Structure 1
Amino acid sequence: MARVTLQTIADQVGVSRMTVSNAFSRPDQLSPTLRDKILAVASELGYVGPDPAARALARGTTGAVGVLLTESLRYAFNDEVATTFLGAIAEELTPTGLGLTLLTATAHDDVVPARDVAMDGAMVYSCDPTSSAIDWLIRRRLPLVFIDQVPAAGIPSVNVDDRPGARAAAEHLVGLGHQRVAIITGGVRRADGLEPAGAVVSGSAANEGGESQVIDGYVAQQRILGWLDALTPAGIDPPVVRLAHCTPEDGYDGARLLLESDLRPTAVLCFSDAIAQGVVQAAYDLGLRVPEDLSVIGFDDSPLAARMRPALTTVRQDVLAKGRAAAAALTRAIAETRAGTEVTADHLLIPTELVVRESTAPPA
């Protein structure tokens, strides 16, 4: 079967090749009657439209933006906070015609996504700041937006106001009378860039001494600072479990390390609701009651928090607002870059709020 081209359709309709092209890419240039006729002939001949790659080359755009993740792509589909965040981005991008491409920071068979994938711009979402993938995006001079990263000069950024939210959670426990408070945090890495092997326990949140090779991510740093803002004045030096990942399974393992110790905490502050779910399950498996024997506080206020039994006390962040703000900042940066104007490098902080439910109570 002969290949159908724009010229094939033009010959059939009796118009120029440019007129057929306009029917697909610039419909405002044609009358509705003529455009409908061209599209009808194209459909009859089995023509679906101009080649996307050729059209992108001609326009100098790809129609796609990337989201760089340090975690595996499976995390993006399994974690409720991540899926809500990505869904908000996709919804915000829909009117612009831009598509979403998920990028891992890891190379596969000599393919480096941050270096090799065609895109008009990218969002860097809660990634290791030393990752070579971020360096590739910067070197490509792509419009960028940082989300849950250390704000950088000249790059728009969106962050959650983590420190005040964490402070409010710790103040809630101190106000209830807890003195034996522990922390389980996530998103850590080793100084050599390798993944920590399992849970890492340190004697305090300072992360000094033997655990100095383990580095908290930016969000974890902010939340630890917030927790300590309330715990330190109360004379509480919390033991800390540091996890590479934020799954309920990791939270469960981390909680067992704390709850089976000689000096069991009466309350645990968790980096995320997913970790908190694992902590609650570990407590039940050890015969402890929540909140009577152990108070648990999460972070995020994901749908999981309200589903849990008991319902989880947590810190709410507006993930939808964060996703929409990130997408809006990137589309603006892309437009400014194309226009040759300076990129608006605003730093937006999404507020947090403590949501008190049933998983916290005074110590027994």
Structure 2
Amino acid sequence: MPRVTLQTIADRVGVSRMTVSNAFSRPDQLSPELRQRILDAAQELGYAGPDPTARALAKGTTGTIGILLTDSLRYAFTDLVAGGFLGAIADELAPTGLAITLLTSAGTGDLIPARDVAMDGALVYSCDPTSPAVSWLHRRRLPLVFVDQAPVDGYACVNVADRDGARAAAQHLIDLGHRRIAYAVVGAHGPFGLLTDAATPVEGYASVQRRLGWDDVLTPAGIHPPVIREPFERVDDVRRDARELLSRPDRPTAVLCFSDVTALGVRQAAADLGLRVPEDLSLVGFDDGPIATQIQPGLTTVRQDVEEKGRSAAALLNAALRLSPGEAPHMVLPATLVVRGSTGPAPAEGARTPV
């Protein structure tokens, strides 16, 4: 079957090749009637449209933005908070026609996505700033927006007031009389498990900020919490180490958790041991995602507006794509404590349910 080209369509309609090209790439240059005649002829001839690679070379743009994730791409489809964030980006970009490509920070063989995938700009979402992938994006001089990361000079960024929200969570427990408080955190590097050293290092911008907020309240009160630390937000791993923590004679009466998912793991461990929430154990999460209202009692948590974060990040990147380099705004969205049934007064020493 002979190959159908722009010239084939031009000959069929009786117009120039440039006119056919304009029907696909510059429709405003043609009358609606003429453009429709060209499109009808193209469909009849089985023309698939201009080659995307050739169009990108001609225009100097790809029509695609990347979203760089530290974790595997599976995280984008299984984590409800990440899903809400990515969905808001898609909604914000829909009117622009820009496509989205998800990128991992790790390469496979000779392919390094941050170096090799064609894109006009990228959102860097909660990534290790020393990652080679981030370095490649810088070297390509792409417009970038950083999300849930330390601000980078010359680039727009969107963060949540993690430290303020965490501080409010810790103060809530102190006001309820709790003094035996533990942390459940997530970190990319070890050590992992149940750790008794409250000075355990934490990495990741959001993790660091939340830990600082908790410490702002607990350290002056002389409280040095044991820590459950996991490499990922895996409920089963948190559940396992939380059982060990909650089986100790000096078990905590409250746990401050990096996320709602982390809190779910601790909640399941408490149920395994016959501990009641909040009578024996108070829990505070972070995110206020769907999990917070699905578990019973409802989870006290710190709310961040992940959809607003996604919309803001996409809008900033879209602006960076259209405008010359200039002011790079640093946005900080609020984080607000939402009190539900998972927190209550600290139990009296003699009234705690035995394990």
Q: Please, what TM-score do these two structures have when normalized by structure 1? A: 0.93
Alignment of 1:214-229 (within 5 A): 214-229=201-216
For 1:354, which of 326, 337, 348 is the aligned residue? 337
One-letter amino acid of the structure 1 residue matched with residue 302 of structure 2: V
Match for residue 159 of structure 1?
A: 159
One-letter amino acid of the structure 2 residue matched with residue 101 of structure 1: T
Match for residue 304 of structure 1?
A: 291
Conserved in 1, the CA contact under 8 Å of 2:192 and 2:228? no
One-letter amino acid of the structure 2 residue matched with residue 147 of structure 1: V
Match for residue 59 of structure 2?
A: 59
Q: CA deviation at 1:76?
A: 0.8
Match for residue 294 of structure 1?
A: 281
Q: CA deviation at 1:200?
A: 5.4
Equivalent residue of 2:286, what SS?
coil
- Residues 202 and 113 from structure 1, CA distance in 2 versus in 1: closer, same or farther, beyond 3 angstroms? farther
For 1:329, which of 310, 313, 316 is the aligned residue? 316
One-letter amino acid of the structure 2 residue matched with residue 168 of structure 1: A
Q: Percent identity?
A: 63
Does 2:149 correspond to 1:149? yes
Match for residue 116 of structure 1?
A: 116
Conserved in 2, the CA contact under 8 Å of 1:250 and 1:275? no
For 1:262, which of 249, 252, 259 is the aligned residue? 249
Conserved in 1, the CA contact under 8 Å of 2:128 and 2:204? yes
Deviations 1:246-288, CA, capped at 9 Å, x for gaps: 2322321331231122310000000000010111001000111
Does 2:169 correspond to 1:169? yes
Equivalent residue of 2:256, what SS?
strand
Equivalent residue of 2:55, what SS?
helix
Match for residue 363 of structure 1?
A: 346
Q: CA deviation at 1:198?
A: 4.4
Q: CA RMSD in A?
A: 1.2
Conserved in 1, the CA contact under 8 Å of 2:194 and 2:226? no
Q: Please, what TM-score do these two structures have when normalized by structure 2? A: 0.95
Equivalent residue of 1:242, what SS?
strand
Conserved in 1, the CA contact under 8 Å of 2:230 and 2:237? yes
Match for residue 28 of structure 1?
A: 28
Equivalent residue of 2:287, what SS?
coil
Match for residue 211 of structure 1?
A: none
- Residues 260 and 363 from structure 1, CA distance in 2 versus in 1: closer, same or farther, beyond 3 angstroms? same
Match for residue 195 of structure 2?
A: 201
One-letter amino acid of the structure 2 residue matched with residue 31 of structure 1: S
Match for residue 185 of structure 1?
A: 185
Equivalent residue of 2:48, what SS?
coil
Does 2:18 correspond to 1:18? yes
One-letter amino acid of the structure 2 residue matched with residue 85 of structure 1: F
Equivalent residue of 1:170, what SS?
helix
Q: CA deviation at 1:245?
A: 0.8
Conserved in 2, the CA contact under 8 Å of 1:333 and 1:344? no
For 1:275 and 1:203, locate their aligned partners in 2 and report how far apart those are by CA, in whole Å. Answer: 19
Q: CA deviation at 1:48?
A: 2.5
Q: CA deviation at 1:363?
A: 1.7
For 2:336 and 2:152, locate their aligned partners in 1 and report how far apart those are by CA, in whole Å. Answer: 26
Conserved in 2, the CA contact under 8 Å of 1:251 and 1:274? no
Q: CA deviation at 1:333?
A: 1.2
For 2:230 and 2:310, locate their aligned partners in 1 and report how far apart those are by CA, in whole Å. Answer: 25
Query: Greater shift after overlay, 114-123 or 233-242?
Result: 233-242
Equivalent residue of 1:298, what SS?
strand
- Residues 180 and 81 from structure 1, CA distance in 2 versus in 1: closer, same or farther, beyond 3 angstroms? same
One-letter amino acid of the structure 2 residue matched with residue 362 of structure 1: P
For 1:199 and 1:74, locate their aligned partners in 2 and report how far apart those are by CA, in whole Å. Answer: 23
Aligned residues: 347
Q: CA deviation at 1:216?
A: 1.9
For 2:237 and 2:318, locate their aligned partners in 1 and report how far apart those are by CA, in whole Å. Answer: 36
Q: CA deviation at 1:199?
A: 2.4
For 2:29 and 2:15, locate their aligned partners in 1 and report how far apart those are by CA, in whole Å. Answer: 14
Q: CA deviation at 1:101?
A: 0.6
Conserved in 2, the CA contact under 8 Å of 1:199 and 1:244? no
For 2:196 and 2:155, locate their aligned partners in 1 and report how far apart those are by CA, in whole Å. Answer: 34
Equivalent residue of 1:146, what SS?
strand
Gaps of 5+ in 1: 191-195, 208-213
Match for residue 193 of structure 1?
A: none
For 2:160 and 2:235, locate their aligned partners in 1 and report how far apart those are by CA, in whole Å. Answer: 22
Query: Greater shift after overlay, 235-244 or 286-295?
Result: 235-244
For 1:156 and 1:200, locate their aligned partners in 2 and report how far apart those are by CA, in whole Å. Answer: 37
Q: CA deviation at 1:197?
A: 6.5
Query: Greater shift after overlay, 56-65 or 258-267?
Result: 258-267
Does 2:134 correspond to 1:134? yes
One-letter amino acid of the structure 2 residue matched with residue 116 of structure 1: D
Query: Greater shift after overlay, 141-150 or 229-238?
Result: 229-238
